[in-house]
Structure 1
Amino acid sequence: MNTNHNDTSEQCLFSYTSGRFLYNESIRLRERYVRFNVSALKDGISQHTGCGKVVELRELSEGGFNRVFLVKLEDNSQVIVNIPFAYSVPKTFATASEVATLTFLRSNGVPVPKQLTVATKVVDIENKLFSIPFSSTGSIYFKKDLPLKVQTDLYLPGTADPDRDSENFCIGPTTDYMFWQGKRAEMHLDCGPWKIPNEHLLAIGNRELAWTEQFGKPQGVDFPHNAFFPDVNSHKLYIALLEKYLAVAPFPLPKEASNIGNKAVLRHPDLTPSNVFVSPETYKITSIIDRQHAIVSPLILAAGHPRLFENPDATTPETLEPPEPPEEYATLDPAEKAEVDELLRRRHLYYLYCVFNGAQNNQHLSACADPVLLPRQHLIDYAGRQWMGNLMTLRGALVRICEFWHLLPTDKEWPISFTDEEMH
């Protein structure tokens, strides 16, 4: 249930107003309640921008990890303010990395959050980011914010650095939420940075293995799957699956460090409509927010359509043709036309992203064409999820990667096996 964001009372600024929760609502609302000094925030904005006093402060949107405010100043300029929820992790690293990432992007000609044309600029920005020769997998920080022992160089050796970015920035521990969720923040885990891409894959499996061994317990699968699979599963079976994943993890990525699939790239972690602000007057992007969990990762794992440009259909189009309305469109009633219009809008976004990738970002297009792209990504995604009673997804991903084993860059035999009982 949506609510009005224009209420500027201080209590509304502190509280979650975007909807209701079906269960544990008091806990979920408490997690999202963030009290702050409104007057001090306004004074800080005025001093930082030099654009006069704040004349309006209102909530603009709420995401999974933060609340976003629109601030208007005396000279009619506008500022976006992002305040994280209390449960947003990692506590220090997330903010430090986001500030460093935004500063680094600006220094490399990525206008954040300057105005951009909508149609081509997302792909244009990604092409710029994909051309940056990062040295490692992890997240971007200011050197001054991290101990030397958890830093690696920003760029690969021998990279030209006319702006001397490498003097100020480095690659440090990942801000991937799953490395810091719950008790993981208190565990001694390998959080990067990783110079060898496969070490990242192993760290994901070892993280969940350590957590499940310490905190896992028998449980059934979540709703709605518990209606079909009511049995309680042992966490020890999940531990066995994670051990199988760790046996496979050294092999999904290309062997050669120089392979384009291993190229470390930076992408927006959650490019959705709620994170992209567009001017209603100019139809230009005015701000792209929510980079607090941005990570540098191998291209072959980062490749794919952002959620904003995902294919709305179950199957991929056989040809790249502009979407067209159905022949019977003129005879549809208004409600049916509205549904068709929304589907066409999403199909056009998918189509345009494909077209501009082909024209401007060939290395991304090449990675997207990899036949093992999704099986590889699904395997690593499912191995990185917390034990919740579900054995099916990780087991299925392991079985599926077996079917593509002959396409992976290894001459080793399939290193794991399943019993007939496990397969059924």
Structure 2
Amino acid sequence: MPSPWRLLASAFSRSLTRVSTRRSFSFSSHLRNQDLFEYTSGRWLVNEALRLDERKVVFNVAELGRLAAQSVNRSPDHVAYMEKLAEGDYNREILITMRDGFKMVAHIPYQCTIPRYFGVASEAATMAFLRFHGIPIPEVYGYSADANNPAGTEYIFAESIRGTKLVDQWFDLAEPDMISVLRQLVQLEKKTMSICFPAGGALYYTKDMEKADAQHTPLDDDPRFCVGPDTRSQMWFGKRSEMDVNRGPYKDVKEALSRPAEKEWAYLTQFGPQVPWDPSARLLHNLEQQQPSDHTESLRDYIRIAPLLIPKDPALSRFPIRHREARAENLIVSRSSDGTLNIVALVDWHHTAILPAFLLTNLPYESEDSSQSTRPSLPENFDNLSPRSQDEARDIYQCRLVNYHCLAEVAKHNPAHYRCMVDLMTGMCRHLLSFAGKPWRGLSLLRGLVVGVTRAWSRLNEIDGGGRGPGPCPLWFHLEVVEETDILAEDFMEASDQVKELQSLVAANWKNWVHVEDYERALEVAR
């Protein structure tokens, strides 16, 4: 069973994200341009000056307005004013209003957003391509993946969608409305995932890959587009962005599974030991520098066994595309005249990957139970809980209810995708890849997953029987290694629970971020 504290902290973190997306940050035109450059949506309890500097983007406001007007065939004097609309994890949104009332949105990536050129180029191409294929996505009017332009920053100019973010009403929706929206989302995802690509990685305009002299695979039916390097942040984090490693396109499933691990292997070989970055690992290892040898061994083991977990059904190994986080924060909705709540746009397509179908199975909300087959319920002692504990329990229940209904709709409308979501073998492969490809930050939890897979190996063969299972396991571990791995996992979970408990008490999310108005109180509690 998941730890109650882990569920509580996870839900509380989600609650913080939900509140932050409810707020818009508008500035009248008489205020200094500096307000468009600075991050103002929240505060950090740790390393705040660095976090703010990473998100500061200075650009030429007049030139950005001129380029925006040009992208929609208007003259620069048609621009009435600009205002900061919102600030997300990866970019700042600036609402540009014309004198005739026309509105558009400029998406400007932060300095810390990686990769910059490939990220912007891929997001713009992905939006245009999927919109062409009937997916409700804001129209892209223009973009620049290179900051070497008159505005002095990368940007995407996109349509301003009429409607409200689903997150503003998601946790107050009646259950029939929730089910209706999830059904629409599942049907949209079925449509996007029916498009098959010739390789894995990310989607681009071919001209952008030629400009960057990057490896790419053109689409047979539309050579304007191609598959190029994977833009997921794990492939570029920190000094990894400076390394010449293969980030795609992945020609087959084995490459899609191995390249992220090989990237991490190359990084550890070059840069070696480090002090743990994760607060839980710091607590566990007392800020002592850790050697990467255990993790590199685990990467070797992963590369040996991961290909054996590839589904035998070729339909599950094809390369489709799926939104990175298709949930309430990224859905814009409106009600029709008959009262139906309709999805009018699916937004935020940065870091969208093209991967084997069996790897694209995340639920709307993070969960340690991938099946979610049983309808959730509130705690039996709910009426006796404090108001704050009731809010937290209700939040956890709502997230589980969303996952439950989402899986039910996937089972009805996309059965092949559903099989991937609940299949034990493909689930293990996904978990292995998620840890093998993540940046190593001083603690190796991959070994525990590898050991867990070897323990379950005979069961995998029994489930898939008839020669369809993974066959003999190529790995074997001494009992003492298994015991050490179990102890490390238990110690880490205990440390992680302590850190998350403190973060939830302080009202900070996992990045130690808090709302501006909560900063002083959070800082005092943290002290």
- TM superposition score normalised by structure 1: 0.84
Q: Secondary structure at the match of 2:43?
A: coil
Asked if residue 370 in structure 1 is aligned to residue 390 in structure 2, the reply is: no
User: Measured at CA, do residues 170 and 329 of structure 1 come closer, stay the same or move farther in structure 2, by a change above 3 Å?
Assistant: same
Residue number in structure 2 paired with 1:303: 361
CA shift, 1:299, in A, is: 1.1
Name the residue aligned to 1:398.
450
Contact 2:136 2:344 (8 Å CA) reproduced: no
**8 Å Cα contact 2:316-2:358 kept in structure 1:** yes
Q: Kindly tell me: are residues 120 and 109 of structure 1, through their superposed partners in 2, closer, same or farther at Cα, counting changes over 3 Å? A: same
- In structure 2, the CA distance between the partners of 1:341 and 1:279, relative to structure 1 (3 Å rule), is farther
Contact conserved, 1:51 with 1:75, CA < 8 A, in 2? no
Give SS of 1:191's match: coil
Q: 2:309 aligns with which of 252, 271, 274?
A: 252
Report how far residue 359 of structure 1 moved.
2.7
- CA positional deviation for 1:193: 0.7
**Residue aligning to 1:39:** 62
CA distance change for structure 1 residues 339 and 177 in 2, over 3 Å: closer, same or farther?
A: closer
In percent, how many aligned pairs have the same letter?
30
The equivalent residue for 1:237 is 294
The structure where helix makes up a greater share of residues is 2
Q: 2: distance between equivalents of 1:58 and 1:280?
A: 27
* 1:364 counterpart letter in structure 2: H
Equivalent position amino acid for 1:379 in 2: L
Judge conservation of contact 1:135–1:152 (CA < 8 Å) in 2: yes
* Pick aligned residue for 1:271 from 319, 326, 330: 326
Q: 1:380: Cα distance to partner?
A: 0.7
Q: For 1:127, what is the secondary structure of its paired residue?
A: helix
Q: SS state of the match for residue 424, structure 2?
A: coil
For 1:370, the aligned partner's letter is: D
From the superposition, tell whether residues 115 and 347 of structure 1 become closer, same or farther in structure 2 (CA, over 3 Å). Answer: farther
Higher relative contact order (CA closer than 8 Å, sequence separation 6+): 2
CA–CA separation in structure 2 for the residues paired with 1:276 and 1:296 = 21
Counterpart of 2:59 in 1: which secondary structure?
A: coil
**Partner of residue 473 from structure 2, selected from 386, 393, 414:** 414
Partner amino acid, structure 2, of 1:142: Y
Give the alignment partner of residue 26 of structure 1, picking from 34, 43, 49: 49
For 1:26 and 1:371, the matched residues in 2 are separated by: 44
Distance 1:388 1:370 in 2: 30
Residue 167 of structure 1 deviates from its aligned partner by 2.4
Aligned to 1:194: 250
**Does the aligned pair in 2 maintain the 1:100–1:140 contact within 8 Å?**
yes
Q: CA deviation at 1:232?
A: 4.8
CA distance in 2, matches of 1:120, 1:75: 37
Unpaired runs of 5+ residues, structure 1, are: 156-163
Residue 441 of structure 2 corresponds to 388
1:6 match? 26
- The CA distance in 1 between the partners of 2:481 and 2:265, in whole Å, is 19
Structure 1 distance, partners of 2:285, 2:480, is 15
**CA deviation after TM superposition for structure 1 residue 374, in Å:** 3.0
Listed as ranges, the matches of 1:11-410 within 5 Å are: 11-49=34-72, 53-113=78-138, 118-147=181-210, 150-154=215-219, 164=221, 166-217=222-273, 219-220=275-276, 222-230=278-286, 232-255=289-312, 259-279=314-334, 284-307=342-365, 317-319=372-374, 338=391, 342-343=395-396, 345-391=398-444, 393-406=445-458, 407=460
Give the deviation of 1:383 after TM superposition.
Answer: 0.9
Deviations 1:46-104 (CA, angstroms, capped at 9, x unpaired):
33335893445332322221112333444444323211011222221111111111111
Match of 2:154 in 1: none
Identify if the C-alpha distance between structure 1 residues 39 and 239 changes in structure 2 by more than 3 Å, giving closer, same or farther: same
Distance 1:314 1:126, change over 3 A: closer
Matched letter for residue 422 of structure 1? V
**Do 2:377 and 2:397's aligned partners in 1 also have CA atoms closer than 8 Å?**
yes
Give the CA deviation at 1:329: 8.0
Equivalent residue letter for 1:140: L
User: How many residues in Structure 1 have an aligned counterpart in Structure 2?
Assistant: 407
Conserved 8 A contact 1:61-1:274: no
Aligned Cα RMSD in Å? 3.3
In 1, Cα distance between equivalents of 2:381 and 2:476? 52
Give a deviation string over 1:120-140, Cα, whole Å, max 9, x none.
332121011111121211111
Structure 1 residue 355: deviation in Å?
3.2
- TM-score normalised according to structure 2 size: 0.69
Deviation string for 1:245-279 (max 9, x for gaps)?
22223222125xx6222021111123344433445
Q: For residue 349 of structure 2, what is the amino acid of its counterpart?
A: R
Q: 1:18 to 1:280 in 2, by over 3 A?
A: farther
Q: State the shift of 1:195 in Å.
A: 1.7
For 1:81, give the aligned amino acid.
Answer: A
Shift of 1:339: 5.0
CA offsets 1:288-320 (integer angstroms, 9 cap, x no match) = 33212111001111113133xx56x9685544x
Shift of residue 410, structure 1, vs aligned partner: 5.5
